[in-house]
Amino acid sequence: MSDTVIMPRPQAHPLAGRTMTGAQMIVQVIADEGVSAIFGYSGGAILPTYDAVSLHNEAQRLAGGREVPLIVPANEQGAGFMAAGYARSSGRVGVAIVTSGPGATNTVTPIRDSMADSVPIVVICGQVPTAAIGSDAFQEAPVASIMGSVAKHVFLVTDPTKLEATVRTAFEIARTGRPGPVVIDVPKDVQNWQGEFRGEGTLPIPGYRRRMDDSSACALDEAGAARFFDLLGASRRPLIYAGGGVTNGSAAGALREFARAFDLPVVTTLMGIGAMDTTDPLCMRMLGMHGAAFANYAVEDCDFLITVGARFDDRVAGVPQRFAAKARAIAHLDIDRAEINKVKRVQWSHVGPLREALAALTAAGRRLGARTDNAAWRAELAELRRVHAMNYDRESPLIQPYYVIEEIARLTHGEAIVSTGVGQHQMWAAQYCEFREPRLWLTSGSMGTMGFGLPAAIGAQVANPDRLVIDIDGDASVRMNIGELETATTYGLPVKVVVLNNFGDGMVKQWQKLFFKGRLSASDKSLHKKDFVRAAQADGFEYAVRLDRKADVPRVVREFLEFRGPAFLEVIIDPDAGVYPMVGPGQSYDKMITGDFIAARSAPPPDAVAPDSSEMF
């Protein structure tokens, strides 16, 4: 008998060989990629593709197939953030389709936001016909030039025969390696072109694929693992510092197994929240500028820092040379080689997919018989957590924002998807919410984009129709994209929107009180006339309530969360509530300000030190 194995030929795409327009090819590839919804706003230069979406869904309805719903936002920025919320919460590539000119430029902010937080989205922009490019035609914008500086990659499709392969390649680039946004600029004549649909094929991008192959093949060897466990064995206070790369790399399960196998406590960055179950005894919560005091003290005390998918950014390591100063060694695992030794010198590193690297470390440690005795260290951390626990003025007659978020956390058991805008409410949610799983925490980290929360929640609800999705927002941040309230009701999305109203830009006011002698320049909104409840009612919210009595908090929060359908809750909070702890920009953790209700390990600085001109916000 012959031992030759005959492999089955790959099955051809059922539509291969069919004549399609370029627009139909775009939509078919999107459907083939498993995208379950598209977010976008139409316009002249993208009309052929919008028509193709309609034709595709009509054909699917007749055939009993899967449609790709089109969610139309109030503006294109909302579409970009919806695609990002879809991607962040599901791990799948989000898609936005917009028209040329202002349609495209309105997506610059969500594209940059997705690049900064490593979020995979594909944005397809209509463009003026090929022959008109460069003529300042109606609604023309130099998309490739604009987006090239903010996206992971940009394609301008001028050869229609390459359109189908380009769309597939965009998805490949968006999701692989360090994820990010990819933009495809498609002239109107390319959308209208007719040609043969191949049903397969991508563009030749040998340099990129070689880097991806090299990264995937970079397995942790025995010698590297042995060096790591030598460092771990010599330590008495090891600590994992986990960032957003853990979630982006689908490595949360591997991280948890690794931490539990060797009894390693974990602190997370803002973007890493949920990588470790926040209720797990090993989880020491968030570190950094507004991290828990006990988390920051744990970093100060550790002697071996194991950095996983994090980048020592300025919100965490304000003074890099003083960050984890007692650590005799630092290890760093990341998918991006550029992050190794970029900010902080490390003694051990590995570049490659985090899930595989952590699994390999766990297996190697077990083979090597690695043992850790962290009982004394764990006891120290438990005492830090007890003495320096998060706290606030629980006797205040005013509604404290922390109390509201504690109630939300108590009722949702760490199982809800929570998105936020940017500001004080974002930090309060990070500090007081619970997250049992990854991809439940959606926030704009690196860019800090106000207006992110509401559209991101809508995108997450579309991606996760059976989950409770809550946007915890601020009165200033929600204003930025408040038009998306109508999007939630238009599509019957049961998003829960809570606005913590302190009548202004709370975080800016906090900084102005600390560093600018209380001059509230342009940040006090107490005289503004917005009636948020009426605005929500006007946009179709059947449940729209203002909460202004502390005694009503438990009852109203429960009613709000249990309401079937979209719900809106405005909470009038203490306007002077602050975010504590706080480490000033360019300051080390020993200068941490803990406020009046969180115990500091040492006397706080007598006065907040104003940042100099070289320091960031």
Helix (H, G, I), strand (E, B), or coil: what is residue 400? Answer: coil
Which helix (H) or strand (E) segment holds residue 608: the answer is none
Which residues contact residue 145 at a Cβ distance below 8 angstroms, ignoring those fewer than 6 apart? Answer: none
Token pair 């004394």: residue:
376
Q: Are 526 and 504 in contact (CB under 8 A)?
A: yes
Structure tokens at 298: 């744990």
Ordered strands of the 70-71 beta sheet:
70-71, 38-41, 94-98, 121-127, 182-187, 153-156
Is 530's pLDDT higher than 60?
A: yes
Which pLDDT score is estimated for 1? 41
Cross-strand partners of 473: 499
495-507: per-residue pLDDT in tens? 999 999 999 999 9
Which pLDDT score is estimated for 602? 79
Which pLDDT score is estimated for 140? 97
Which pLDDT score is estimated for 582? 96
140-183: per-residue pLDDT in tens? 999 999 999 999 999 999 999 999 999 999 999 999 999 999 99
Domain coordinates in residue numbering, the chain: 19-204, 218-387, 401-572
CATH topology of domain 401-572: Rossmann fold (3.40.50)
Could you tell me the sign of the dihedral formed by the alpha carbons of 395, 398, 401, 407, in that order? positive
DSSP line for 493-514: ---EEEEEE-SB-HHHHHHHHH
Q: Which of 20, 24, 33, 76 is catalytic?
A: 76
Which pLDDT score is estimated for 617? 61
Ordered strands of the 469-474 beta sheet:
441-442, 417-420, 469-474, 496-501, 567-572, 543-547
C-alpha–C-alpha distance, residues 454 and 131, integer Å: 39
**Type of residue found at 66:** R
Q: Are 120 and 174 in contact (CB under 8 A)?
A: yes
Q: Are 356 and 219 in contact (CB under 8 A)?
A: yes
Cα–chain center distance at 320: 24
Q: What is the mean pLDDT of residues 109-134?
A: 98
| Identical fold, 19-204 and 218-387 | yes
| 189-193, 327-331, 546-550, 585-589: range with lowest mean pLDDT | 585-589
Task: Give the mean pLDDT of the chain.
Answer: 95
Which pLDDT score is estimated for 218? 86
Q: Are 500 and 527 in contact (CB under 8 A)?
A: no
Helix (H, G, I), strand (E, B), or coil: what is residue 158? Answer: coil
Q: What is the mean pLDDT of residues 52-64?
A: 97
Q: What is the mean pLDDT of residues 324-344?
A: 96
Q: What is the mean pLDDT of residues 539-556?
A: 98
C-alpha–C-alpha distance, residues 167 and 93, integer Å: 12
Which pLDDT score is estimated for 2? 46
Q: Are 51 and 20 in contact (CB under 8 A)?
A: no
CATH code for the structural domain at 19-204: 3.40.50.970
HSE-CB of 279 using CA atoms within 13 angstroms:
10
Helix (H, G, I), strand (E, B), or coil: what is residue 469? Answer: strand
Which helix (H) or strand (E) segment holds residue 428: the answer is helix 424-432
Question: Does the active-site annotation cover 76?
Answer: yes
Q: Which of 147, 289, 507, 592 is catalytic?
A: 507
Structure tokens at 286: 């968030």
Structure tokens at 546: 């203002």
185-222: per-residue pLDDT in tens? 999 999 999 999 999 999 999 999 999 998 888 889 99
Which residues contact residue 379 at a Cβ distance below 8 angstroms, ignoring those fewer than 6 apart? Answer: none
Q: Are 594 and 388 in contact (CB under 8 A)?
A: yes
Which pLDDT score is estimated for 514? 87
Question: Does the active-site annotation cover 304?
Answer: no
Which pLDDT score is estimated for 215? 87
136-148: per-residue pLDDT in tens? 999 999 999 999 9
Cα–chain center distance at 64: 35
* Alpha-carbon distances, residue 77 vs 239, 271, 352 (angstroms): 39, 21, 33
CATH architecture of 218-387: 3-Layer(aba) Sandwich (3.40)
Q: Which of 152, 188, 344, 525 is catalytic?
A: 188
**Type of residue found at 107:** T
C-alpha–C-alpha distance, residues 272 and 489, integer Å: 31
DSSP line for 190-220: HHH-EEE--S------HHHHHHHHHHHH-PP
Q: How many CB atoms lie within 10 A of CB 124?
A: 27
Question: Does the active-site annotation cover 139?
Answer: yes
C-alpha–C-alpha distance, residues 452 and 443, integer Å: 7
Q: Calculate the CA dihedral of residues 298, 302, 308, 313 and round it to 10 degrees.
A: 70
Q: Which of 58, 138, 200, 597 is catalytic?
A: 138
Q: How many CB atoms lie within 10 A of CB 245?
A: 27
Q: Which of 305, 273, 294 minimizes the C-alpha distance to 391? A: 294
Question: Does the active-site annotation cover 188?
Answer: yes
15-43: per-residue pLDDT in tens? 999 999 999 999 999 999 999 999 999 99
C-alpha–C-alpha distance, residues 34 and 16, integer Å: 18
Q: What is the mean pLDDT of residues 362-368?
A: 96
Question: Does the active-site annotation cover 507?
Answer: yes
Q: How confident is the model at residue 361 (pLDDT cuts 50, 70, 90)?
A: very high
Higher pLDDT, 605 or 387: 387
Which pLDDT score is estimated for 7? 52
Structure tokens at 450: 């106000």
